Chains A and B, each alone.
Chain A
Amino acid sequence: MIGELWASLLESLARLGDTVRFLLRILAQVPRALGRLQLIVDQVFNAGALSLVIIMLSGLFVGMVLGLQGFQLLERFGSEEALGTAAAIGLVKELGPVVTALLFAGRAGTALASEIGLMRATDQLSAMEMMAVDPVRRVVVPRFLGGVIAMPLLAAIFSLIGIYGAQLVGVQFMHVDSGSFWSQMQSSVDLRDVNEGIVKSCVFGVACSLIAVYEGYHSAPTAEGVGAATTRTVVTSAVIVLFLDYLITAFFIK
């Protein structure tokens, strides 16, 4: 029992080390990959623009729920005007980056992992190797950078739409005073809060994109292998995102 735990711990550590080495290999190729901007732009479109609808819809609903729950809670203390602040801080610092990262892992991460995994399974990566083209530079780096660039933008859009959703419920339905909703938000949300959100979404962007390209690139070249890689992408991303979220939050509070 303890032996098994130890073995699985060792395996996880080995995996982590392998992933970091893969990250270094990616970073070493970034300068050369930047010479082909079109490839990166295409991937920002794939990872970002194609995730827009799901991000915007989820943002709206999360914001609306936040508006409703926040209103119920704040009403007990007679401070409904603070709804704007509560919604904005909750979204910008926490829900925006985290929920976006989880959705990103499910929408873009799985697409990346299965695409690269299928390229591996159909020998496309070997063919590139044989044409003296490094598949890490040509395939992996643009997709990684695309994800890294797309994530903070998606998180920002998520928070923006979320605040609109909270406003919709709070001000339009629950009749919180519109002036105090916005002015309280303006006066109590610090730059520090926004920075926290930006740092989080950037870190999550690196983590989710890295996990997706790593899993895809190292998947077994079979149908099951690609399927397993896709599953692992989502599971690992979710756990890592929540873990990193705690770390960064603690770091900002200190």
Chain B
Amino acid sequence: MRYVAGGRAIFDGLSLDFPRGRVSAVMGPSGTGKTTLLRLITGQIAADSGSVRVDGTEVGALDRPGLYALRRRMGMLFQNGALLTDIDVFENVAFPLREHTRLPERLVRQLVLTKLQAVGLRGAAELMPAELSGGMARRVALARAIVMDPQILIYDEPFVGLDPISMGVILRLIRRLNDALGLTSIVVSHDVHEIGSVADVIYLLSGGKVVAHGGPQELRSNPSEIVRQFVGGLADGPVPFHYPAPDYFTELLARDGEASA
């Protein structure tokens, strides 16, 4: 599969496979297009060539209604939760139900409360999103993502900016929800150790390609330089520390306006 944005090929010859019923992780340095990959899977953007298939359906070929039908079987957790800020926690979780179903209020209430209970936030049902901490907002968003009982659950950087406790909570939730609900989970992250503890399969992306994949143990013992740089958190390696720039001395010694000449 190939995807070009702004004249730069984000992915070129990328090929991955997310097994059903497992937790798969996609990792890679910032800017490798992990989030772009999610947008391709969910049909928010289309690949320039190649194919993106979800459960046998070619995502790029779907029209809007088809895409929406597919998305009803997916849940997605956004980086910052993306809760609707004008309604409270309860209504946020109830939102997909109210939009897609005409269930009686009692049933909506029960569904929402069970999902909130699952993420441990039943007591926060009446708070507004602005009153939640980052970790809580993400758990509410998780409850909202599972309220329609999806088959696939996608997490976009679920650990960014969380304290260790919230991170542990989210990690356990990812594993528990996956096993209890029989989901297929895809987690995009660059937190090597955290994700290593829950993922069944890990893909490491770099330069628009899969550079390594396998279980957490396999990845740790992978001898390739890029994997060692990423897993070990080394500043320099195949992924350079410096953004491409002209020669350091020339630029420092140049007079104003000459640097770019």
Contacts and interface: CB of A to CB of B under 8 A. Distances in A.
Interface of A: 119, 122-124, 126-127, 129-134, 138
Given A123-B82, A124-B82, A124-B85, A130 B72 contact: no
Contact of B96 (A119, A123, A131): A131
Given A123-B78, A133-B96, 16 more contacts: A119-B84, A123-B82, A124-B82, A124-B83, A126-B44, A127-B83, A130-B74, A130-B75, A131-B95, A131-B99, A132-B68, A132-B72, A132-B96, A132-B99, A133-B100, A138-B99
B205 interface: no
Interface in B41-71: 42, 44, 64, 68-69, 71
B42 A132 contact: no
A207 B23 CA distance: 49
Contact of B76 (A124, A130, A133, A138): A130
5 smallest A-B Cβ distances: which pairs? Answer: A123-B82, A127-B82, A132-B68, A132-B71, A130-B76
A127 B68 contact: no
B222 interface: no
A133 B76 CA distance: 13
A123 B99 contact: no
Contacts of A138: 99
Contact of A126 (B64, B82, B83): B82
A42 to B, nearest CB: 10
B40 to A, nearest CB: 13
Interface of B: 42, 44, 64, 68-69, 71-72, 74-76, 78-80, 82-85, 95-96, 99-100, 141, 144, 148
Contacts, number: 51
Nearest to A139: B84
B3 to A, nearest CB: 18
A11 B44 CA distance: 26
20 contacts: A119-B85, A123-B78, A124-B82, A124-B83, A124-B85, A126-B44, A127-B76, A127-B78, A127-B83, A130-B78, A131-B71, A131-B95, A131-B144, A131-B148, A132-B71, A132-B100, A133-B95, A133-B99, A134-B64, A138-B99
A127 B42 CA distance: 11
Contacts of B69: 132
A73 to B, nearest CB: 49
B84 A124 contact: yes
A88 B69 CA distance: 55
Contacts of B99: 131-133, 138
Contacts of B96: 131-133
B82 A122 contact: yes
A129 B68 CA distance: 8
B78 A126 contact: yes
Contacts of A122: 80, 82, 85
